[in-house]
Amino acid sequence: MSPISAYTKVNVSTASARQIMVSLFQAALSNMRSAASAFERGDYHTGSRMAEKAAAIVLGLQGTLNDDVAPDLCARLRDLYTFVAWRLGMAGTRFSATHVREAERVFAPVAEAFIQAAASLSDDIALSAAG
């Protein structure tokens, strides 16, 4: 096992569910940005691969939705994730930075809100532990 694989395995096995979700949102955004940049410079192979990775993460996030907790929110997020994955799929087949940017524009506010909420929860937990 390579050192990077070992490091990743330890990080995933010791991370909280919230940390893993934050990492997934960040990775999806990073892959979308890499895909768009690759398409813009004419590297269609890399662009398609990065768009596919981003779509796989988004569909994975869609699979984590729990209708029992918040059915209306889950329905809206499911539609949003479906749209984002569809646009990323279109980007990969049409080699289109425009399609990736559309997906990112829709996905980024959700990702940023989740990341901010997770950070806020972490701050609240730290404050309650300290006090």
Overall pTM surpassing 0.75 (yes/no): yes
Domain-embedded: residue 86: yes
Domain-embedded: residue 16: no
Helices then strands (H, E): number in the chain?
5, 0
> Which residue would you say has higher pLDDT here, 40 or 125?
40
Percent of the chain surpassing pLDDT 70: 82
| Count of domains for the chain | 1
Closest of 115, 111, 107, 65 to residue 88, by C-alpha: 107
Q: Residue 91 belongs to a domain with what CATH number?
A: 1.20.120.340
Domain-embedded: residue 109: yes
Q: Which residue segment(s) compose the domain that 104 sits in?
A: 24-130
With a CB cutoff of 8 Å and minimum separation 6, the contacts of 18 are 118, 121, 122
Q: What is the pLDDT of residues 25-81, one digit of tens each?
A: 999 999 999 999 999 999 999 999 999 999 999 999 999 999 999 999 999 999 999
Domain-embedded: residue 10: no
Copy the structure tokens of residue 52.
């596919």
